[in-house]
Structure 1
Amino acid sequence: MSVDTQQASAPLTDDELRTLDAHWRAANYLSVGQIYLMANPLLTEPLRPEHVKPRLLGHWGTSPGLNLVHTHLNRVIKARGQDALCIWGPGHGGPAVLANAWLEGSYSETYPDVSRDAAGMERLFRQFSFPGGVPSHVAPETPGSIHEGGELGYSLSHAYGAALDNPDVLAAAQLLRTHLPELTVRVVNVVDIARLLPAEEHPHGMSDFEYDGLFTPDKPVIFAYHGYPWLIHRLAYRRTGHKNLHVRGYKEIGTTTTPFDMVVRNDLDRYRLVMDVIDRVPGLAVRAAAVRQQMEDARLRHHEWIRVHGTDLPEVADWSWDG
């Protein structure tokens, strides 16, 4: 156990508790200020009606809870050097996410005019749910945002993808390197699906030059997406290489089973992805027929194994990336 891990798991000191409480209270004030105030952000003068927004939009009730989680996540991330992706269920908890982004400095890095001072705080407050400002939810303009939903279901789908996406994609690329070493494979990790849109349609979008540079205009693309496949097609339908895009995604197939079997049932597993590559790269269908059969056999072994042991194959459960 590292020193940092020991420190992170030890009881908090009184000074640490005071610091966390101060951070939480600051985030709470920034959240409620965005909902209600359009002027006088530090209450340096008695509050008057003209300081309050004429139209209020934003969920205060969910903000303190989000701020508490965000405060402690920051502590853990700093103490352990944790690489984390925050997934927030309440879409209208936007005030809390914006408050913490501004409090930690990342918001001002993206938007220097919303500076970390009284003037910047007033702009942060005034722009929230205000004409010409920002929406009440975690919109694409929010630094670090990869998707806005507003319902818990969207959040769960992202959590599922974050946990299960990379391992099988990377494992498929290892498998291809082992069985088809002459094949050139590029792995593109898409963490923000809005990047698939044209630049003129979304602030996160890519130009055709950038998109073709990543996905090429004429090569087969196997897209493993832990969501509905049609969404990727809708986002990329105007791209030059759209006809070469094959998306594997959620088919609403599932039951009480093992984690890997959920992936297999929806044809998102590493073996299925390798088979897709063989099926879609010109010339591989015949030349790599034996490899494709090995992948099919691995899926059959998987089905037999889980029905006997109730757990995933050791080669799946114990797999780790050594790249």
Structure 2
Amino acid sequence: MLDEQELTRIDRWWRAANYLSVGQIYLMGNPLLREPLVAEHVKPRLLGHWGTTPGLNFIYAHMNRAIVARDLDALFITGPGHGGPGLVAASYLEGTYTETYPSIGQDLDGLTKLFTQFSFPGGIPSHVAPETPGSIHEGGELGYALSHAYGAAFDNPDLVVCAVVGDGEAETGPLATSWHGTKFVDPRRDGAVLPVLHLNGFKIANPTVLARIGDEELAALMRGYGHQPYVVAGSDPAEMHHAFAEALDAALDEIRDIQAEARSASGPVARRPWPMIVLRSPKGWTGPKEVDGKPIEGYWRSHQVPFADARGDDSHRAVLGTWLRSYRPEELFDESGAPYDDIRDLHPAGAKRMSASPHANGGTILQDLELPDFRAYAVDVVPGTGAVESTRVLGGWLRDVMRANMTNFRMFSPDENSSNRLQDVMEVTDRAWNARIVADGFWADDHLAPEGRIMEILSEHTCEGWLEGYLLTGRHGLFSCYEAFIHIIDSMFNQHAKWLKTTRHIDWRAPIASLNILLTSHVWRQDHNGFSHQDPGFIDHVVNKKADVVRVYLPPDANTLLSVADHCLRSRNYVNVIVAGKQPALQYLSMDDAVVHATKGIGIWDWASSDEGAAPDVVMACAGDIPTQETLAAVSILREQVPSLRIRVVNVVDLMRLQPETEHPHGLSDHDFDALFTTDTPVIFAYHGYPWLIHRLTYRRTNHANFHVRGYKEEGTTTTPFDMCVLNQLDRFDLALDVLERVPGLASRTGHVHEMLKNKLIEHRAYVRRHGEDMPEVRSWTWSPVDGPQVRTDSPENDAPEG
């Protein structure tokens, strides 16, 4: 039970936070109602969300009491991001807001600015946005509170993350799965997540599922997830303060006991249920009971702005005045407009304030990774030969990255880490697992341990959320995923990219480690799984975002992949997408050449070209490992069949190099682009993804009209690897045909070559349908070097095809 003084102080803080929250939604003048409320004091456009806010303020007030009493290191994560005014109010009462934005002082002028800026042109958003001190996610899209909270808790042994889950949010798929974080958190070396399920009964216009089931059913659900629930329900403020304080103390005691038991044990410790709190309170608590004869408090109408015409309707404005005065602001703010001392002081000091936690501004505590020299992991290369699994080579380097960074680097994957050939990492760590482990016998589990640092759960949402929370609180990581199913986190990527874009313009937000996504098991090697697994479109989705945030890399071989991965793990404030195959594939560049090529991001491959010393007749461009292989195979055919044809091979690693420098920081100048692709030569471009993206990136270029792009065009099935290329006309025969048809004057002179290529396509189709595998000449093909470039001085029209 709270004593009377504690109860009074907490209630006064809560009333002040509620008052500030309502003021932000409605007012742009007369912030403490020291004169009659008139139309000009009310914003012309009312935006924001009230319904969840008083509950958030209530929880925040009680967390502050617990932090002071227990000297906790705590972080506050708000799933109901629509409660933005509440978190701004809390930060203002803690003094952090004024420290961050000195113009928003704790006085009448500061209050006026605080109120006016909210959801106002040139001001701040209505959600718990990057501009809000203490926040680590936008909150506009629901579902990520718990996964972000667990990501923040991993490797933070002293941190308690209070994660408020809204009952609307609790209906989302990402949130529903993220309750399973209890099976992955290690009480010995991780922090703790304290979920507070905030049930206020309604979404925008409908009741919520979890609010309409009984306590027994709800408790059974939470226990099934691995939690011990404490239920606090009611509407009377005094009773609720006492009940919530008691539940919070019990939950924190339990967390302390779980961690103490685990950290003092010499061997394995049985997993115990982690505490959580269910808070049942009215939606729009402490707001008007009804307006215009319609219910408000405890009903869905309080979700956003409970009544919207307080500026133009005298009766609504009167209701607003009555509502604001119900908090008795004269008891909360002094003559200057500052909160009274007992309110201003009801919070911990310095960085212990949840709005000032360094974990909520993770770049300030970010430490560089210790990265082994990737050059030491190089593959010996004879260009266009070999059969190397590029991601397996990467896995060897990542093993040693993990070994050197066992407290601030983790890998995340939806049950695909080994499938993606990254299993070497398990030489130094295991898969994180705190549920039952079968340790012995024939059916013993493979590399499962509570202290494991490979985070695998078959939920792309949860993996992405864990990694985002880990990055946002100052650590590093890598997410590997099958290419087709990364789309599951499209919206999560959107929100994180928007966060990065916004924080680039907030000077007090320090840069965080980049979000690194490795896409493998990609479209051109999903022949066995079929059409459902064939989709390279995530790249298109990524490229929609601001150019100063996104990067896309398509390394053609293992050495280039190593160089790219090293660069990405060193980078800050980007989303880096790397696409690389896991199947045995040809290799092209020595390590020295790979470093140069990756650094440039695009370049001519002299060893494969035949245009040295003269203008090319055709540019053969490629981006991606399989497009590169098929391009080189086409070049090999052409150099044999049309030896005097001048061919330039251009390989693209950094996709954004194709854009003009005015559109992307990595973009090439028009001069450099023309030097590679010329201003008038046909360009046959073999691309990993959907072909129209290349057109989109290059449409402003001088030679764009001569670009012909081959890529994935939604033709797929369960078939052979090469047949996937044929179905989408990305194969070597179709690429060579494109050259014959598009180089001026060449088609009429190379009719027999054209026929041979067409026959090869027919032969291929018959062979794979008879034998179930690709033709031997395709399966065993390697690059055959030509002795020196063959430079021709006559024109293609005069070419006499051979053989």
TM range (shorter): 0.5 to 0.7
Deviations 1:11-62 (A, max 9, x none): xxxxxxxxxxxxxxxxx99x979xx9xxxxxxxxx9644862485689xxxx
**Structure 2 CA distance for partners of 1:81 and 1:201, relative to 1, 3 Å:** same
The correspondence for 1:319, drawn from 758, 781, 787, is: 781
Ranges in structure 1 where 5+ consecutive residues have no aligned partner = 1-27, 37-45, 59-66, 102-126
Task: Judge which range, 236-245 or 131-140, deviates more.
Answer: 131-140
Deviations 1:201-228 (A, max 9, x none): 1111000000000000100000001200
Deviations 1:85-125 (A, max 9, x none): 76997777473998479xxxxxxxxxxxxxxxxxxxxxxxx
Amino acid at match of 1:137: L
**Residue 284 (structure 1) aligned with residue 746 (structure 2):** yes
SS in 2 for 1:250: coil
List aligned pairs for 1:146-225, cutoff 5 A: 159=581, 162-225=624-687
Mapped partners of 1:144, 1:290: distance in 2: 47
The correspondence for 2:515, drawn from 123, 134, 137, is: 137
SS in 1 for 2:648: coil
Amino acid at match of 1:190: V
Displacement of 1:77 in angstroms is: 7.0
Partner of 1:111: none
**Structure 2 CA distance for partners of 1:134 and 1:275, relative to 1, 3 Å:** farther
SS in 2 for 1:188: strand
Mapped partners of 2:719, 2:750: distance in 1: 31
RMSD: 4.3
Amino acid at match of 1:203: P
TM-score by length of 1: 0.62
Displacement of 1:174 in angstroms is: 0.6
Mapped partners of 2:763, 2:719: distance in 1: 15
Displacement of 1:242 in angstroms is: 0.4
Deviations 1:236-270 (A, max 9, x none): 00000000000001011111110000000000000
Mapped partners of 1:315, 1:205: distance in 2: 38
**Structure 2 CA distance for partners of 1:201 and 1:134, relative to 1, 3 Å:** farther
Amino acid at match of 2:638: L
The higher relative CO (CA closer than 8 Å, separation ≥ 6) is in 1
SS in 2 for 1:255: coil
Contact 1:302 1:312 (8 Å CA) reproduced: yes
Q: How many residues align?
A: 242
Partner of 2:721: 259
**Structure 2 CA distance for partners of 1:48 and 1:223, relative to 1, 3 Å:** same
Contact 2:716 2:727 (8 Å CA) reproduced: yes
Mapped partners of 2:774, 2:628: distance in 1: 18
Partner of 2:426: none
**Structure 2 CA distance for partners of 1:159 and 1:56, relative to 1, 3 Å:** farther
Contact 1:128 1:134 (8 Å CA) reproduced: no
SS in 2 for 1:247: strand
Contact 1:57 1:129 (8 Å CA) reproduced: no
Partner of 1:52: 357
Max Rg structure? 2
Question: Which of the two has greater helix per residue?
Answer: 1
Question: Which of the two has greater strand per residue?
Answer: 2
Amino acid at match of 2:662: E
SS in 1 for 2:684: strand
Displacement of 1:137 in angstroms is: 3.0
Ranges in structure 2 where 5+ consecutive residues have no aligned partner = 1-150, 160-349, 364-368, 382-389, 396-411, 414-462, 479-500, 517-548, 552-563, 583-622, 786-803
Mapped partners of 1:75, 1:287: distance in 2: 52
**Structure 2 CA distance for partners of 1:233 and 1:91, relative to 1, 3 Å:** farther
**Structure 2 CA distance for partners of 1:144 and 1:216, relative to 1, 3 Å:** farther
TM-score by length of 2: 0.27
**Residue 78 (structure 1) aligned with residue 361 (structure 2):** no
Contact 1:140 1:204 (8 Å CA) reproduced: no
**Structure 2 CA distance for partners of 1:196 and 1:302, relative to 1, 3 Å:** same
**Residue 228 (structure 1) aligned with residue 690 (structure 2):** yes
SS in 1 for 2:652: coil
Mapped partners of 2:745, 2:475: distance in 1: 51
Report percent identity of matched pairs.
39
Displacement of 1:280 in angstroms is: 0.5
SS in 1 for 2:515: coil
